Structure 1
Amino acid sequence: MRGLLLTVLVLANIATALLIVRNRHEHRQAFVALTRLEKARDTLNIEFGRLQLEQATWAESNRVDQVARVQLGMVFPRTEDTVVLRR
């Protein structure tokens, strides 16, 4: 009886140790995946900041005005060309 109890306790101890090893391994894998994802997030945040800066540059009013004048040949209407409609 005593030998059976000792065997059960030893087997339970070994099973617990194996479960701890498995859990630590899974934890390490999850941590590596988390680190990889954080690095990808940081890279994407940097790229997003660059794209926001580029968008702000392209949308700047002086640039839009220059493109309208040079490429599209647009000009501001003269006062005499302006018509006001009233009801």
Structure 2
Amino acid sequence: MVRLNIFLLLAVVICSLAVVTSQHKARKIFQALEAEQEHARQLEVEFGQLQLELSTWGTAPRIEKIAREKLKMRAPETGHVITATPTGGLPQ
């Protein structure tokens, strides 16, 4: 009977240590998951900011200003504009 009690006590101690170990691992994994989710949220915010910046840099007035100032471009005069038609001929 004493051997059975010692065996059962040993089994209970081993099972309880296994439970504690698995709970510890689960908490560590959950903490890693939370950290990765926070990182994903930060990346989404940064992506939104980059999209906004991209749309700001690509606006027509800004491009026109750079073309005028840095590239010394100007709009053509109306007499120098030629319109092409889909048939390939010039308009009359």
TM over 0.5: yes
The worse-fitting range, judged by mean Cα deviation, of 55-64 and 43-52 is 43-52
In the TM superposition, structure 1's runs of 4+ consecutive aligned residues that sit over 4 Å from their partners are none
Determine the structure 1 residue equivalent to 2:21: 22
Q: What TM-score, normalized to structure 2? A: 0.78
Determine the structure 1 residue equivalent to 2:31: 32
Counterpart secondary structure, 1:77: coil
Deviation of 1:40 (Å): 1.7
Deviation of 1:41 (Å): 1.6
Counterpart residue type for residue 17 of structure 2: L
Counterpart residue type for residue 19 of structure 1: A
Judging by fraction of residues, say which structure has more helix.
1
Taking the aligned partners of 2:81 and 2:55, their CA distance within structure 1 comes to 32
Q: What is the 5 A alignment of 1:74-85?
A: 74-83=73-82, 84=84
Taking the aligned partners of 1:7 and 1:59, their CA distance within structure 2 comes to 78
Q: What TM-score, normalized to structure 1? A: 0.81
Between the aligned residues of both structures, percent identity stands at 33
- Corresponding residue pairs, total: 86
Deviation of 1:60 (Å): 0.8
The worse-fitting range, judged by mean Cα deviation, of 13-22 and 77-86 is 77-86
The worse-fitting range, judged by mean Cα deviation, of 52-61 and 73-82 is 73-82
Segments of structure 1 that go 5 or more residues without pairing to the other structure are none
Determine the structure 2 residue equivalent to 1:50: 49
The worse-fitting range, judged by mean Cα deviation, of 51-60 and 66-75 is 66-75
